[in-house]
């Protein structure tokens, strides 16, 4: 089975983040600052990381997302692990 | 800081102090109060859990450590008082050479001051090690029920237990290298007792947090459970152990779980040597001045980048 495309990763990322942090899925954009869009702090970001690892069945070291700011950048990190 | 409850032979210690169950003097004193319970006749097993929503424990109280190293600069007598306050009794302080420090202060000799700062922290570390060693060597089965953040000293506390049960939100890390330090509460010897050294080096040298799933795969966690179930599962496991003969349990535990005393002492020495380096105070100052509760977590750095003018 081939790895999901980055677009698929972003779509699943939006769904996951919107559900987890009670946001409207359609209001999220790839270029959005995810901390602002989701209104999350670093503790919640850590829980998002755990959820991403579970959803995509990958391991994402937190140093790889240390400087991530947008959904697009986060999707790149996830996609690189698939 | 914590509650203790004995029910049906199981001592449940629930950490409940501060924002993230940081281990500073108040938590240490509370944990020291647990040690006597470990050898009570009516206690057959121990479960350590956390009431904190964020997790088990974020580790040592870095604000307190920062204060130990900086707030008494230029005030030797305050430093002496501060250092004395870290010992559990005047006799222990005397054995550790308080009079030598007092004489140095009288002579207005500032050279021992740096040594004295470390000496005060070392006194604190010695007390932490006594408590952690007591839990590690307790004659009863001990279980850590972990959720959420289990970092640094909190991770080291969990590692003193015979078995770690964690829910899927748990994350484990040694972020100490970000501060120019290594773990100081016995984390490295206890982690290397349980895991292959390649995994130990990955966790230690990267400073990254590993998920409960990964921790389960490498053998750090014995039982991985659903969110919010670690405490219940740990108690059922504790209950199971109480079905066996207490003496046989203690023999089995001693046989399966040697205490790495030499490595524990060596780690403490290395920690104290690193402590005098300016890098540590600089990193601790950045930590203390940060508005983020845990500035080394994902997001905190990106947030700083957004708010810092280029």
Per-residue pLDDT of B252-307, as tens digits, reads 999 999 999 999 999 999 998 888 788 888 888 888 887 665 666 665 555 555 55
Tell me the domain boundaries of chain B: 1-310
10 Å CB burial of residue B202 (0-12, 13-18, 19+) is: middle
State residue B6 phi and psi, 5-degree precision: -110, 120
Per-residue pLDDT of A4-52, as tens digits, reads 788 899 999 999 999 999 999 889 999 999 888 998 888 888 889 999 9
Cβ neighbors of A3 (< 8 A, separation 6 or more) are A79, A82
Please, what CATH class does the domain formed by A6-79 belong to?
mainly alpha
Q: pTM of the prediction?
A: 0.86
Tell me the domain boundaries of chain A: 6-79
Measured in angstroms, the CA of A59 and the nearest CA of chain B are apart by: 8
Contact B306 A33 (CB under 8 A): yes
Task: State the pLDDT at residue B218.
Answer: 96
Task: Kindly give the confidence (pLDDT) of every residue in chain B, 310 residues in length, as a single tens digit, with 9 standing for 90 and above.
Answer: 999 999 999 999 999 997 789 998 899 999 999 999 999 999 999 999 999 999 999 998 888 887 777 654 545 555 566 666 666 666 666 666 666 656 655 665 545 556 667 777 888 899 999 999 999 999 999 999 999 999 999 999 999 999 999 999 999 999 999 889 999 999 999 999 999 999 999 999 999 999 999 999 999 999 999 999 999 999 999 999 999 999 999 999 999 999 999 999 999 999 988 887 888 888 888 888 876 656 666 655 555 555 544 3
Query: Hey, of B54, B147, B299, B310, which one would you mutate to test binding to chain A, going by the most A CBs within 10 A of its CB?
Result: B299
Cβ neighbors of A73 (< 8 A, separation 6 or more) are none
Q: What is the CATH number of domain B1-310?
A: 3.90.226.10
A68 interface with B at CB cutoff 8 Å: yes
Measured in angstroms, the CA of A13 and the nearest CA of chain B are apart by: 16
Task: State the pLDDT at residue B64.
Answer: 80
Helices A71-79/A6-20 angle, 10° precision: 120
Task: State the pLDDT at residue B74.
Answer: 46
Using an 8 Å CB-CB cutoff, list chain B residues near A45. Answer: 297-299
Contact A54 B299 (CB under 8 A): no
Task: Give the closest of A50, A53, A69 to B302, CB-based.
Answer: A69
Using an 8 Å CB-CB cutoff, list chain A residues near B300. Answer: 42
Measured in angstroms, the CA of B188 and the nearest CA of chain A are apart by: 20
Closest by CA to B149, choosing from B209, B232, B90, is B209
């Amino acid at each position: 089975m081939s790895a999901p495309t980055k677009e698929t990763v972003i779509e699943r990322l939006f769904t996951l983040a919107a559900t987890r942090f009670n946001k409207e899925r359609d209001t999220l954009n790839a270029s959005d600052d995810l901390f602002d869009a989701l209104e999350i702090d670093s503790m919640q970001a850590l829980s998002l990381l755990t959820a991403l690892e579970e959803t995509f069945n990958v391991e994402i070291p937190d140093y790889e997302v240390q400087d991530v700011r947008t959904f697009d950048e986060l999707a790149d990190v996830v996609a690189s692990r698939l | 800081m914590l509650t203790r409850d004995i029910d049906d032979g199981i001592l449940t210690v629930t950490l409940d102090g501060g924002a993230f169950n940081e281990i500073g003097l108040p938590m240490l004193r509370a944990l020291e109060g647990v040690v006597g319970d470990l050898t009570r006749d009516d206690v057959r097993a121990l479960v350590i859990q956390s009431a904190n929503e964020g997790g088990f424990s974020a580790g040592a109280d870095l604000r307190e450590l920062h204060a130990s190293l900086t707030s008494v600069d230029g005030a030797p007598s305050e430093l002496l008082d501060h250092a004395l306050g870290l010992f559990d009794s005047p006799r222990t302080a005397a054995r550790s050479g308080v009079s030598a420090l007092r004489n140095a202060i009288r002579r207005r000799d500032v050279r021992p001051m740096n040594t004295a700062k470390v000496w005060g922290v070392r006194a604190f570390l010695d007390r932490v090690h006594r408590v952690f060693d007591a839990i590690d060597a307790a004659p009863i089965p001990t279980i850590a029920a972990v959720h959420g953040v289990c970092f640094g000293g909190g991770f080291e506390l969990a590692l003193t237990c015979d078995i770690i049960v964690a829910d899927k939100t748990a994350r484990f890390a040694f972020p100490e290298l970000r501060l120019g330090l290594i773990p100081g509460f016995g984390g490295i010897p206890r982690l290397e007792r349980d895991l292959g050294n390649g995994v130990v080096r990955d966790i230690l040298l990267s400073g990254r947090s590993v998920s409960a799933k990964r921790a389960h795969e490498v053998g750090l966690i014995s039982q991985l459970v659903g969110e919010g179930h670690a405490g219940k599962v740990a108690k059922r496991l504790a209950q199971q152990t109480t079905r066996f003969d207490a003496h046989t349990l203690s023999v089995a535990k001693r046989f399966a779980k040697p205490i790495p005393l030499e490595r524990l002492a060596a780690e403490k020495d290395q920690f104290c040597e690193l402590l005098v380096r300016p890098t540590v105070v600089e990193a601790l100052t950045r930590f203390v001045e940060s508005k983020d509760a845990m500035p080394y977590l994902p997001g905190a750095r990106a947030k700083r980048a957004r708010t810092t003018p280029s």
